[in-house]
Amino acid sequence: GATVTPSVATATVTTSQSDYTIANNIGYIRLNNTSGGSINVSGILSTGVPNGRTVIIVNVSAAPADVIQLTNLDGSSASANQFDMPGAQPILLSQKGDATFIYDATLSKWELVSTN
C-alpha cells in the first residue's frame, strides 16, 4: 500500500471565519490568530471534498489570549460546511491546541474525531 502524506499550510487569521477555504491537498492547517483575542471558525468549505477526508487544525498563535473557537452547527457557515461536535459544544483551541475532523458525506458535516 501507498503512504499518503497530507500537505501542511499556515494561514494568518485576524477575524472570525465562515466556510473557511483550504486547498484540496491540505490535511494539516496551522492557523495563526493575530487578532489579540478569541475568534470563531464556523466551518470548512466542503465543495468537492470526498467522504472520509481528514483535516487537522492546530492553533499556532503566539499569544495565549489568541484562542480559536470551532463552533458547533453554526449558521454562519453553510450547512454542509459546519462542524458537528459531540454534546453540541464548541471546541476551544488554545495555543498549540489541535482538533482532527473527518468529513462525513452522509451527514454532510465535519465530524470531530479528536482534540488536544
Q: pLDDT (tens digit, 9 = 90+) per residue, 13-60?
A: 999 999 999 988 899 999 999 999 999 999 999 998 999 999 999 999
CA separation for the pair 89, 97 (Å, rounded): 16
Indicate the pairing of strand 26-33 with strand 7-13. parallel
pLDDT score for 24 = 85
Per-residue pLDDT of 63-89, as tens digits, reads: 999 999 999 999 999 999 999 999 999
- Which residues have C-beta within 8 Å of that of residue 85, sequence separation ≥ 6? 70, 72, 73, 91, 112
pLDDT score for 92 = 96
